[in-house]
């Protein structure tokens, strides 16, 4: 769609007619002003995530606008919140190895990540390491594309990585395969951790993880005798109830062997520290004058259906919650509410946009400029527009400049153009370094250490000073204790659903979350093991129905060697029409949050399966 649209049919039906930008903006102003007058600006909820992760289009003018308006604040927790919090408690921040260094590792453990699909550039470095003789181990619940290329694939029961990590530590400590000097200099809480892991006997860990104890021992010995070990910590082990604790348990490993000090040794999860920018200058939280109301994006469905302080307007951009969000049935019920005013700024008429009252056309990365950074490497680069905006589409920054103007916001920051915003992203409040800026404009990547960070904040192991309360790696965390959490890595009990199969819905090669996948050939399928198929009377190619308390979904089943018993594998966030129903695999996910950090728990989903009559 290339013009603003106004809804003419039922919510969700996709019936719209074009209107002018002027009219669209004036409708938004009127509705928002009515909400502010009759209720509270915090009844207006912005909802955005990673449609683009270019810095200024991802979050700059939009944040200023909503702070100034006094709208609710969205906690952006759908991706890596629990793991990031685990890093903060343990390492002080989201620090990690520089990706280029990983070529020098002698042992690589890919732990809950399907690199060949999701982070192929990391895989290339791993292949380089392998050429030098490195061994590559993959720990996954599915025999994935990555697992099939490993020297050793270890198939683990979903959500039991914490136990495996503690079992390895049990062996490391018992067999004295640890680095006492590093532990002494750079960690706190070793004694408490040692007593804790002593209770994770190999028998116990074997029972929990489904990995036999000889393998756990062999893995521990390999890890303990090779200092140049690199763990690529994936999001797969994190998108579970125990995602925070699991990430934290894995993080004790390089601390016990001192791998951080060896060339190519350490770990990478989300390398956010070296891409950290001065977000306050871009986001301007100081523009807010009312009390903040925070909403966890993983609870969108619940929040939209709540009668208490009801949300009266939802403004979606850079995201597609009707497809990507957990607890989808509630999200769709919420979006369909008659008295909810929904605006969606989109490139496409997504499943979310179909519920909008007003749809606004958005530019693509080919039509706007941005500073691109990474979750993984430390380089920043200009992505320059290569064509003018098509039709009447507007970039995110332009849209929120227009909205600020329509609301007569007088603050000068609403006049900043994209070049100014990019300078603020790169240089923060320090003066512009013209050499760096010229290099950036030339299109070359810049390796820009943000001025507000010191070298050791990015690689704290180099001098052994971390941003934790103790200044060390916290194997035992007093801060967690104070927050009412177990201070050592252990599972926090929760009520697990009764359905027998665990459904893992990980990303597809054919899409980027919900983007591009609509062009994929084929239909969504699920894979299950031969044993489970036999038990349920399902043959390869049969239509099956998956169901649980949250919803149900019919699709084709493949019997696959990649699956273990008790686990069903689905891939991809497909569009609803590709499933030929309202909803996709997320119709089966629920709204539980992770053990800490408020993270999403997509992969802790339990279902039943039966052959479908349809």
Ligand X SMILES: Nc1nc2c(c(=O)[nH]1)N[C@H]1C(S)=C(S)[C@@H](COP(=O)(O)OP(=O)(O)OC[C@H]3O[C@@H](n4cnc5c(=O)[nH]c(N)nc54)[C@H](O)[C@@H]3O)O[C@H]1N2
Site residues (CB under 5 A) for Mo ion?
Answer: 79
The binder of 236, among Mo ion, ligand X, none, by C-beta within 5 to 8 A per type, is ligand X
Q: Which does 57 bind (CB under 5 to 8 A by kind): Mo ion, ligand X, none?
A: ligand X
Q: Which does 19 bind (CB under 5 to 8 A by kind): Mo ion, ligand X, none?
A: none
User: Which position's Cβ is nearest Mo ion?
Assistant: 79
- Measure the CA–CA gap between 123 and 100, rounded to whole angstroms: 11
CB of 79 to Mo ion, least distance (A): 3
Structure-block tokens of residue 318: 């850079």
Q: Out of 92, 224, 450, 511, name the contact with ligand X by CB under 6 A.
A: 511
List the one residue from 41, 51, 275, 428 that touches ligand X (CB under 6 A).
51
Residues in the chain, overall count: 614
Using the rule CB under 6 A, is 79 a contact of ligand X? yes
Of residues 349-378, which lie at the interface with ligand X (CB under 6 A)? 350, 362
Classify 211 as helix, strand or coil: coil
Question: What gap in Å lies between CA 457 and CA 534, rounded to an integer?
Answer: 54
Q: What are phi and psi of 139, to 5 degrees?
A: -110, 110
Shortest distance in whole angstroms from residue 449 CB to ligand X: 25
| Distance in angstroms between the alpha carbons of the first and the last residue of the chain | 34
DSSP 307-357: SSS---EEEEES--HHHHSSSHHHHHHHHT-TT-EEEEEESS--TTGGG-S
Q: Is 275 in the site for ligand X (CB under 6 A)?
A: no
Interface stretch with ligand X, choices 63-71, 112-120, 466-474, 557-565 (CB under 6 A): 112-120
Distance between CA atoms of 12 and 80, rounded to whole angstroms?
Answer: 30
Out of 42, 515, 529, 594, point to the residue binding ligand X (CB under 6 A): 515
- Residue 72 three-state SS: coil
Residue from 85, 161, 261, 532 touching ligand X (CB under 6 A): that is 161
Nearest-angstrom CA–CA distance, 278 and 261: 29
**For ligand X, which stretch binds (CB under 6 A), given 87-95, 430-438, 453-461, 498-506?**
498-506
- Rounded to a whole number of angstroms, the CA Rg of the chain reads 25
Task: Give the residue nearest to ligand X (CB).
Answer: 236
| DSSP-assigned letter for residue 603 | T
Dmax over CA atoms of the chain, in Å, equals: 72
**Residue number with CB closer to ligand X (158 or 264):** 158
Q: Which is nearer to ligand X, 257 or 514 (CB)?
A: 514
Q: Smaller CB distance to Mo ion: residue 5 or 80? A: 80
Q: From the CB of 546, what's the least distance to Mo ion, in Å? A: 23
Residue 240 partner contact from Mo ion, ligand X, none using kind-dependent CB cut-offs of 5 to 8 Å = ligand X
Task: Kindly give the pairing relationship between strand 44-47 and strand 73-75.
Answer: unpaired
Confirm or reject binding of residue 185 to ligand X (CB under 6 A): no
Compute the distance between CA of residue 522 and CA of residue 510 in angstroms, rounded to an integer.
10
CA atoms within 13 A on the CB side of 215: 17
Residue 156 contacts ligand X per CB under 6 A: yes
Q: Which does 486 bind (CB under 5 to 8 A by kind): ligand X, Mo ion, none?
A: none
Q: Decide: is 564 part of the binding site for ligand X (CB under 6 A).
A: no
Q: How far apart are CA 470 and CA 466, in angstroms?
A: 8
Cα angle value 217/223/224 (rounded, 5°): 85
Q: Binding of ligand X at residue 393 (CB under 6 A)?
A: no
User: Binding segment for ligand X among 12-20, 106-114, 176-184, 193-201 (CB under 6 A)?
Assistant: 106-114
Q: Does 271 bind ligand X (CB under 6 A)?
A: no
State which of residues 141, 249, 295, 488 lies at the interface with ligand X (CB under 6 A).
141
Residues 318-347 that bind ligand X (CB under 6 A): 318-320, 324, 345-347
C-beta closer to Mo ion: residue 85 or 261: 85
Spatial neighbors of 452 by CB under 8 A, at least 6 apart, are 278, 428
Helix (H, G, I), strand (E, B) or coil at 193: helix
Does residue 108 touch ligand X according to CB under 6 A? no
b/e 10-35 (16+ beta carbons within 10 angstroms → b): ebbebebeebeeeebbebbeebbeeb
The residues binding ligand X (CB under 6 A) are 49-52, 57, 78-79, 111-114, 117-118, 139-142, 144, 156, 158-159, 161, 234-237, 239-240, 317-320, 324, 345-348, 350, 362, 396, 504-509, 511-515, 573, 585-586, 602-603
């Amino acid at each position: 769609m290339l013009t603003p649209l106004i809804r003419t049919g039922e919510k969700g039906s996709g019936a719209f007619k074009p209107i002018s930008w002027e009219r669209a903006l004036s409708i938004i102003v009127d509705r928002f002003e009515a909400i502010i007058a009759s209720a509270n600006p915090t009844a207006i909820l912005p909802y955005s995530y990673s449609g683009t992760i270019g810095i200024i289009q991802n979050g700059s003018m939009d944040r200023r606008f909503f702070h100034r308006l006094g709208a609710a604040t969205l906690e952006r927790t759908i991706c890596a919140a629990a793991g990031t919090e685990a890093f903060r408690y343990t390492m002080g921040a989201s620090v990690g190895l520089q990706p280029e260094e990983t070529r020098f590792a002698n042992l690589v453990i890919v732990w809950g990540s399907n690199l060949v699909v999701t982070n192929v550039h990391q895989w290339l470095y791993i292949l380089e390491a392998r050429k030098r003789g490195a061994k590559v181990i993959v720990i996954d619940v599915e025999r994935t594309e990555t697992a099939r290329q490993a020297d050793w694939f270890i198939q683990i029961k979903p959500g039991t990585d914490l136990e495996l990590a503690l079992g390895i530590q049990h062996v490391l400590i018992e067999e004295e395969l640890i680095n006492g000097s590093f532990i002494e200099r750079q960690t706190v809480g070793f004694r408490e951790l040692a007593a804790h892991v002593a209770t994770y006997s190999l028998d116990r860990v074997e029972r929990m993880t489904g990995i036999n104890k000889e393998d756990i021992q062999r893995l521990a010995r390999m890890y303990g005798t090779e200092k140049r070990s690199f763990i690529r910590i994936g999001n797969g082990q994190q998108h579970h109830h125990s995602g925070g604790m699991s990430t934290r348990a894995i993080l004790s490993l390089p601390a016990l062997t001192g791998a951080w000090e060896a060339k190519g040794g350490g770990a990478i999860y989300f390398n956010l520290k070296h891409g950290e920018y001065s977000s306050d200058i871009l986001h301007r939280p100081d523009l807010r004058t009312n009390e903040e109301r925070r909403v966890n994006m993983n609870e969108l469905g619940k929040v939209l259906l709540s009668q208490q302080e009801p949300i009266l307007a939802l403004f979606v951009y850079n995201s597609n919650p009707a497809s990507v969000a957990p607890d989808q049935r509630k999200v769709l019920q919420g979006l369909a509410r008659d008295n909810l005013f929904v605006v969606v700024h989109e490139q496409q008429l997504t499943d979310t946009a179909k519920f909008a009252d007003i749809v606004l056309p958005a530019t693509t990365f080919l039509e706007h400029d941005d500073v691109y950074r990474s979750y993984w490497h430390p380089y920043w680069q200009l992505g320059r527009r290569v064509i003018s905006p098509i039709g009447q589409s507007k970039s995110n920054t332009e849209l929120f400049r227009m909205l600020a103007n329509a609301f007569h916001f007088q603050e000068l920051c609403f006049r900043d153009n994209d070049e100014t915003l990019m300078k603020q992203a790169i240089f923060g409040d320090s003066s512009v370094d013209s050499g760096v800026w010229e290099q950036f404009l030339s299109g070359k990547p810049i390796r820009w250490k943000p001025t507000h960070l010191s070298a050791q904040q990015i690689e704290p192991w180099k001098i052994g000073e971390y941003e934790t309360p103790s200044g060390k790696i916290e194997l035992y965390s007093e801060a967690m204790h104070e927050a009412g959490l177990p201070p050592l890595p252990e599972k926090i009990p929760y009520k697990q659903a009764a359905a027998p199969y665990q459904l893992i819905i990980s990303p597809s090669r054919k899409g980027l979350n919900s983007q591009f996948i609509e062009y994929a050939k084929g239909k969504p399928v699920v894979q299950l093991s031969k044993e489970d198929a036999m038990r349920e009377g399902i043959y390869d190619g049969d239509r099956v129905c998956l169901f649980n308390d949250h919803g149900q979904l019919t699709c084709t089943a493949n019997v696959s060697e990649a699956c273990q018993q008790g686990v069903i594998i689905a891939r991809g966030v497909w569009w609803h029409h590709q499933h030929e129903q309202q909803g996709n695999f997320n119709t089966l996910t629920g709204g539980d949050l992770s053990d800490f950090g408020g993270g999403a728990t997509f992969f802790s989903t339990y279902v039943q399966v039966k052959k479908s009559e349809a």
